Amino acid sequence: MLNIRPIGYIVGILIVILGVSMILPLLIDIYFKDEHWKIFGYSSFITITSGALLIFSCSNSFPTNFSIQQTFLLTVSIWLILPIFGSIPFIIGWSNASFVDGFFESMSGLTTTGATVFSVLETFPEGLLFWRGLLQWFGGIGIIVVAVIFLPLLRVGGMQIFQLDSFNNFGQALPKAREIAQSVFFVYLGLTVFAVLAYLASGLRLFDAVVHSMTTISTGGFSNYDDSFAHFPISTEYLCVFFMIASSLPFIRYVQLTSGNFKATFFDSQVRAFLIILISITVILFSWLMFQQTHSIEYALRKTLFNGVSIITGTGYSSDNYMLWGSFPISIFFVIGLIGGCAGSTTCSIKVFRFQILFSAIGSQIKQMHFPSAVVATRYEGKRVSVDIVSSVIAFFILFFASLFLIALALSATGLDFVTAISGAVSTLANIGPGLGERIGPIGNYAELNNVAKLILIFSMFVGRLELMVVYVLFTLTFWRG
């Protein structure tokens, strides 16, 4: 029988940590002389007490070695339970949100989706804005650890290709999982601090610099302003592009880079492919704006670079209403949102390496048709890819697009128009944030959607962030019988 008490013990610890972290926005509200600090006091007490009770009830089951079943259930429990407690400041706080809206905002934060149900953000208490950013920052580091440590072990969507004992480390031995997690955290923290300093230098006030550094490095996309980065100086857009790209690269490569292994980053085929895609998309969109609309070269380059990088990385910031650019750029944005960044980064969606393996498998199949007697192997980074990895990647693609179809269909059944339904499904399943159209596009939000649609989108964000199979496996009888 599956023992869930060790899972409850760890989840309880994380709930307590989340409750303690609520003290930070509490202090910020006190600094800005806002009475909203009391809400974070109540929220912190409720959260810490709940977590402590869970720890106490499971204290005789201190976790040592987790089974595969327990690891699956732990991962799902973390991303399902923490957003509930993270929603408390929204529900009882200044925004006076309903449970669905509060849960939506919290889930969007911890999954680094960046979809929001709030508007007129400029009027929000600073503590609540900081809390939104902090949720995304926690979600970013959390998913990196899951992607680097857990998903390869769980063999989800081909992620087993990045198992630490077989990962291509370019001649340098990788440390143990715990040491890697610690190193990744310090890299993540260092990038965040670097972003804060850069944003300050570009003219942002300290509070905006801190919040936007957290939501940039996590590729989350929450902003303190309704018009997102259009509110900031031009130089800030360019800086943001740099940090969005930096956060879309495998963080384990940064760990190797800090120890002097430069080959690990610069010869990673996933990194090269990702950068080539970014350059190609920017050139295409830039050419379109220059020939189809009247813009200066600098403006066209900046807007296409910023918004293109924002969508493909799943950050979800906007600096312009790209719905006015024409149908072709909108189609481009729709497609690139399905690509995502590199595995082991804070980005979401399908990921570049899966496209590389898929195209390699297709190429191998075509060669096999031309030369039936030849032995043709699917390869990634020059190495032969096993059949189980190829099958896992193909299964992920099928499951992703089947989920996308069903979610869009369910959203349409709630009364949403086609564009809102399909783009909402893509934006949440790929954890991008803004969708297309007037309602949930770059100048809109998800506030006007009905509660049923919001619950569907919450589920979409949840399964998309956890690479689908981690969640879906819990709905099989085999999982519970094992």
* Degrees to nearest 5, angle at CA 188 with 182 and 193: 125
Q: Domain check: are 371 and 441 in the same one?
A: yes
- Mean pLDDT on 170-192: 77
Q: What is the pTM of this model?
A: 0.93
pLDDT tens column, 308-337: 999 999 999 999 998 989 899 999 999 999
Q: Report yes or no on 185 lying in a domain.
A: no
The model's confidence at residue 374, banded by pLDDT at 50, 70 and 90, is confident
Spell out the residues 6+ positions from residue 453 whose beta carbon is closer than 8 angstroms to its own. Answer: 411, 414, 415, 416, 424
Q: Which of 48, 69, 96 is the last residue of a domain?
A: 96
Q: Do 306 and 381 belong to one domain?
A: no
Query: Which residues have CB under 8 Å from 182's CB, separation 6+?
Result: none
Q: 377 with 325, same domain?
A: no
Same domain? 14 vs 70: yes
Cα separation, 14 vs 21, whole angstroms: 10
439 compared with 178, residue with greater pLDDT: 439
For residue 111, is it within any domain? no
Does residue 152 fall inside a structural domain? no
Query: Would you call 176 exposed, middle or buried from its count of C-beta atoms within 10 A (0-12, 13-18, 19+)?
Result: exposed
- Assess whether 275 and 314 both reside in one domain: yes
pLDDT tens column, 60-118 = 766 667 788 888 898 999 999 999 999 999 999 866 789 999 999 999 999 999 999 99
78 within some domain: yes
Q: Which two tokens stand for residue 356?
A: 């590389």
322 shares its domain with 409: no
Statement to judge: residues 317 and 378 lie in one domain: no
Residue 449 placed within a domain: yes
pLDDT reading at 54 higher than 80: yes
Q: Is residue 146 part of a domain?
A: no
Amino acid at the residue 39: I
| 8 A C-beta contact, residue 222 and residue 133 | yes
Q: Are 130 and 36 in contact (CB under 8 A)?
A: no
Tens-digit pLDDT profile for residues 127-177: 999 999 999 999 999 988 888 777 777 777 777 777 654 445 544 445 566
Please count the CA atoms within 13 angstroms of the CA of 125 that sit on its side-chain side: 25
d(CA 92, CA 176): 42
Regarding whether 293 and 389 lie in a shared domain, the answer is: no
Q: Quick one: pLDDT band at residue 266, thresholds 50, 70, 90?
A: confident
Distance CA(274)–CA(341), nearest Å, equals 7
Residue 297 shares a structural domain with residue 403: no
Instruction: Note down the domain range covering 280.
Output: 266-336
Where a domain ends, among 47, 77, 96? Answer: 96
pLDDT digits (tens, 9 = 90+) for 241-257: 999 999 999 998 888 88
Backbone angles phi, psi at 384, to 5 degrees: -70, 135
Q: Is residue 247 part of a domain?
A: no
pLDDT at residue 173, as a whole number: 46
User: Does residue 329 sit in the same domain as residue 379?
Assistant: no
Instruction: Tell me which amino acid residue 445 is.
Output: N
- Which position has the higher pLDDT, 148 or 217? 217
Residue 467: inside a domain, yes or no? yes
Amino acid identity, residue 180? I
Domain boundary among 321, 336, 351: 336
Give the lowest-confidence range in 1-10, 19-28, 120-129. 1-10
Q: Are 137 and 214 in contact (CB under 8 A)?
A: yes
Report how far residue 285's alpha carbon sits from residue 378's, in angstroms, rounded to the nearest whole number.
33
Are 317 and 371 part of one and the same domain? no
As a whole number, the mean pLDDT across the chain is 90
**Pair (365, 475) in one structural domain:** yes
Domain count, the chain: 3
